[in-house]
Amino acid sequence: MRIHHVITRLILGGAQENTVLTCEGLHARGHEVTLVTGPPLGPEGQLLERARRGGYRVVVLDSLRRAIHPWRDWKSYQALRRMFREDRPQIVHTHSSKAGILGRRAAWIERVPLVVHTIHGLPFHEFQSRIAHRIFLGCERMAAKWCHRMFCVGHVMKEKAVAAGLGSPEKFEVVYSGMEVDPFLKAGDRSAVRMRLGIPQEVVVAGVVSRLAELKGHEHVIEAAEGLHLLFVGDGYRRRELEELGRRKGVPITFTGLVAPERIPDLLAAMDFLVHPSYREGLPRAIPQAILAGIPTVAFDCDGAREVVREGETGFLVPPGDSEKLGEAMRQVRGLRIREEVRREIAERFHWERMVDILERSYRSLLASGIE
C-alpha cells in the first residue's frame, strides 16, 4: 500500500513517537511509506533525525507550522494537494490538529481513496477561552467530514469526540498508542541512576515526565511534596518559574532538562512513584511506561489516565487541581507494588507492533469495503 502520514512537527512527544513507530512498522512490512512534517521548532527536542534513519521517505514542508498563519497554512495546503495529486497515495493518515485539518481537506479534495486521522488529544478543551474553543471545535467538526475513519488513543477520547459531534460512534476506532516496551520492562540500576543525578539514595523520589508547560500541573506536585525529593524529567519555558517555586517551598527538585526518549526507562527507575498532574492528555504515555517499569502512579483523573491507573493496583487518581488530595495520594502510593501479570498485560496492550497490526488491518478492511 502507498501510505502518506502527515504530522505538524516531529518534536519529542507521544503523538510524534506514535507516528514514527507506525511509519517504521509499515515500512518494515513492505509498504511504500511517506512521512510529511513541518520543521521541528520549539524547545522540546526532535524526532526528525530518527525518522530520516527509518528507510522510508521523509518530506519537510517549511510552511507547515503549529501557529495559525493564513499565508503559510495556504501554502501548506496547496503543497499537500500537489503531493497527493502527483504521488497518488492509497491512504493519507493525518495526526495533530493543524496537519489533521489541512491534510484531510487536501486528501479529500484530491480524492485519495482512504483518508484517516488519529486523535492523540482533542485541540478544544475547557481551559480555553470560549472563542478559541468554538473555533477549534468548528474546525474539527468540519475536518471530521473529510475522512473515512478516526482512530483514538483511548476510549475516553472516543467518548469525548462523539459527544462533541465529530461523528457517530461507528466512525471511530480505539488504537492504543504503541511504544517500545522492552526497555521499560528491564528496569535500570536505581542506585547508579540516582548517583548520576546527584539524588541521595535514602530519599523518597516522586517523578514527573512531561514538558514544563501550562496545564501540566507541576506546581501542584511542588505544593504537595512534603518530605519528598522531586525529579522533573523534561524541559520547557516554565522551568525558571518552577525552580523559584521549589526554592520558596523548600522542596528539593532535580531538573534533568531535555532528555532523549531512550533515557526515560533509567530515569523512571530512579523514582519511587510517578506523578502525572496534567489537566489534559489523550492517554498519557508516561503512565503505561511507569507501570511497565514497575513504578506506581498518582494522576489527575482526566481524559485517558483512568484507562491505565487502577485504584490501589497501579496507583491512585485524584480530582484535577486538588493539591491536598494529591498530597494524600502521594503518601498512600508509597510502597505500592505492581504485579507482574499487570505489567505483562500493559506490555501487550501498548506494544508498537500491536498498534501497527491493528492499523494495517483497518487500512486493508476499509479499502476492501470500497469506501470512496
- Statement: residue 187 has pLDDT above 80: no
Q: Report the pLDDT value the prediction gives residue 44, as an integer from 0 to 100.
A: 78
**How distant is the alpha carbon of residue 254 from its chain centre?**
23
Residue 30, SS3 per DSSP: coil
Query: Which candidate, 18, 2, 71, 64, places its Cα nearest to that of 37?
Result: 64
Q: Report the pLDDT value the prediction gives residue 304, as an integer from 0 to 100.
A: 87
209, with CB counted inside 10 A (0-12, 13-18, 19+), is buried
Q: Report the pLDDT value the prediction gives residue 330, as an integer from 0 to 100.
A: 97
Q: How far apart are CA 349 and CA 338, in angstroms?
A: 16
In eight-state DSSP terms, residue 261 is: G
Q: What is the DSSP code string of 182-242?
A: HHHHS---HHHHHHHHT--TTS-EEEEES-S-TTS-HHHHHHH-TT-EEEEEB--TTHHHH
pLDDT band (50, 70, 90) for residue 124:
confident
- pLDDT tens, position by position, 47-100: 999 999 999 999 999 999 988 899 999 999 999 999 999 999 999 999 999 999
- pLDDT tens, position by position, 255-292: 999 998 899 999 999 999 999 999 988 889 999 999 99
202, with CB counted inside 10 A (0-12, 13-18, 19+), is exposed
Q: Report the pLDDT value the prediction gives residue 45, as an integer from 0 to 100.
A: 83
Phi, psi for residue 279 in degrees, rounded to 5: -85, -20
Query: What proportion of the chain, given as a percentage, has pLDDT over 90?
Result: 86
Instruction: Give mean pLDDT, residues 226-250.
Output: 95
Q: How far apart are CA 268 and CA 273, in angstroms?
A: 8
Averaged pLDDT score across all residues of the chain: 94
Instruction: Give mean pLDDT, residues 164-186.
Output: 95
Query: What proportion of the chain, given as a percentage, has pLDDT over 70?
Result: 99
Full set of structural domains in the chain with CATH: 2-178+351-368 (3.40.50.2000), 182-349 (3.40.50.2000)
Residue type present at position 76? S
Q: What is the DSSP code string of 273-312?
A: EEEE--S--SS-THHHHHHHTT--EEEES-GGGGGT--BT
Q: Among 34-38, 55-59, 185-189, 217-221, where is mean pLDDT lowest?
A: 185-189
Phi, psi for residue 67 in degrees, rounded to 5: -70, 145
Query: Which candidate, 143, 150, 142, 146, places its Cα nearest to that of 168?
Result: 150
Q: How far apart are CA 105 and CA 271, in angstroms?
A: 45
Instruction: Give mean pLDDT, residues 241-267.
Output: 95
- Statement: residue 39 has pLDDT above 60: yes
Query: Which candidate, 138, 134, 90, places its Cα nearest to that of 111?
Result: 90
* Three-state helix/strand/coil letters over 80-140: HHHHHHHHCCCEEEEECHHHHHHHHHHHHHCCCCEEEEEECCCCCCCCCCHHHHHHHHHHH
Q: Report the pLDDT value the prediction gives residue 372, as an integer from 0 to 100.
A: 52
- Statement: residue 333 has pLDDT above 60: yes
